[in-house]
């Protein structure tokens, strides 16, 4: 996952079918791809895997989520519509640090073949406190929706991983994957949930998990401006989990998904600021 969710969604699905035919496992360099220049991600993986700070931020995020949910349950007792919580999966409730490390170790970028192989290992772990919070929400009669840009082919492995870890109410109605390979927007799926439910909280590690305005913001400046414009939503209706390993923040730096490794390195360098 050394590229982002959007790029994941745009990757050719034919490669996926090929992956299943060849039954590969583990991250391997694709024969026609140059080695990925992804050593810079190692620091982010180290932090994700080794810091108590990352765990503490997760505890903090889900503690805040519970406070906000409890407040809504307390203050709005006569709702006509049932409540729902929407969560993203990867690096919001599922930890894929092991896969990220494999990509860095093997100098490969994100690709659907390796991603599917990882998903089917059913070895993603939980982001701290996520299982407890979502089971608490379910125990209070709040519907939980899992909105992810994992795709249809990856759905069975994803559901198995979620169920293995003890997440509540994982089924075809609540696990909403990306069905159109050309459209990674989560907005239509958010609208489906919003048509029937009062969405109390959205949780994600990427701004695109929260609202269309972020999905439409493709540059570093516009994403920063959009996050500033919606600052009053964060910590209330929008709750963010930390992920410095990958995300649409990085795509914004590149301004496109077809750059060479050298071009991406140059873009990263020019985006860095110093006094
Ligand atoms: Mg995510």
Give the distance (Å) from ligand 1 centre to CA of residue 205.
Answer: 5
Give the distance (Å) from ligand 1 centre to CA of residue 79.
Answer: 30
Give the distance (Å) from ligand 1 centre to CA of residue 89.
Answer: 5
pLDDT digits (tens, 9 = 90+) for 63-95: 999 999 999 999 988 888 999 999 999 999 999
- 156 inside domain: yes
- 32 inside domain: no
In the chain, the number of structural domains is: 1
- C-alpha–C-alpha distance, residues 193 and 237, integer Å: 15
- C-alpha–C-alpha distance, residues 110 and 23, integer Å: 18
Query: What would the 3-class secondary structure string for 49-84 be?
Result: HHCHHHHHHHHHHHHHHHHHHHHHHHHCCCCCCCEE
- 36 inside domain: no
pLDDT digits (tens, 9 = 90+) for 231-257: 999 999 999 999 999 999 999 999 977
67: domain range?
55-96+124-271
CB-based contact 92:127 (threshold 8 Å): yes
Give the distance (Å) from ligand 1 centre to CA of residue 83.
Answer: 22
Q: Positive or negative CA dihedral for 81, 82, 85, 88?
A: negative
Q: What is the dihedral of CA 47, 272, 246, 208, to 10 degrees?
A: 120
- 15 inside domain: no
Q: For residue 239, what is the domain's CATH number? A: 3.40.50.1000
Give the distance (Å) from ligand 1 centre to CA of residue 34.
Answer: 26
Give the distance (Å) from ligand 1 centre to CA of residue 80.
Answer: 31
Could you give the percent of the chain with pLDDT greater than 90? Answer: 84
- 91 inside domain: yes
pLDDT at 11: 41
- C-alpha–C-alpha distance, residues 137 and 250, integer Å: 32
- 254 inside domain: yes
- 24 inside domain: no
Overall pTM > 0.75? yes
pLDDT at 6: 45
């Amino acid at each position: 996952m050394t590229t982002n969710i959007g790029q994941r969604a745009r990757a050719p699905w034919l490669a996926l079918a090929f992956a299943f035919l060849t039954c590969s496992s583990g991250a391997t360099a694709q024969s026609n791809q140059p080695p990925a220049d992804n050593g810079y991600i190692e620091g982010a993986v180290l932090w994700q895997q080794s810091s108590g700070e990352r765990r503490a931020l997760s505890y903090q995020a889900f503690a805040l989520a519970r406070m906000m949910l409890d407040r809504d349950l307390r203050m709005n007792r006569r709702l006509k519509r049932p409540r729902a919580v929407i969560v993203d999966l990867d690096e919001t409730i599922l930890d894929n640090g092991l896969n990220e490390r494999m990509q860095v170790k093997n100098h490969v970028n994100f690709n659907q073949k390796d991603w599917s192989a990882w998903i089917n290992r059913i070895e993603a772990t939980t982001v701290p406190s996520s299982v407890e919070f979502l089971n608490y929400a379910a125990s209070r009669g709040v519907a939980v929706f899992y909105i992810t840009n994992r795709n249809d082919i990856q759905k069975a492995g994803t559901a198995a991983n979620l169920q293995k870890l003890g997440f509540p109410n994982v089924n075809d109605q609540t696990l909403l994957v990306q069905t159109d390979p050309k459209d990674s927007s989560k907005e239509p799926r958010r609208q489906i949930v919003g048509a029937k439910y009062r969405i109390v909280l959205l949780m994600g590690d990427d701004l695109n998990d929260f609202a269309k305005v972020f999905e439409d913001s493709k540059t570093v400046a516009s994403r920063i401006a959009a996050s500033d414009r919606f600052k009053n939503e964060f910590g209330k209706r929008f709750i963010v989990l930390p992920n410095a390993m990958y995300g649409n923040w990085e795509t914004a730096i590149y301004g496109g998904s077809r750059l060479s490794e050298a071009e991406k390195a140059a873009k990263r360098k020019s985006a860095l600021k110093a006094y």
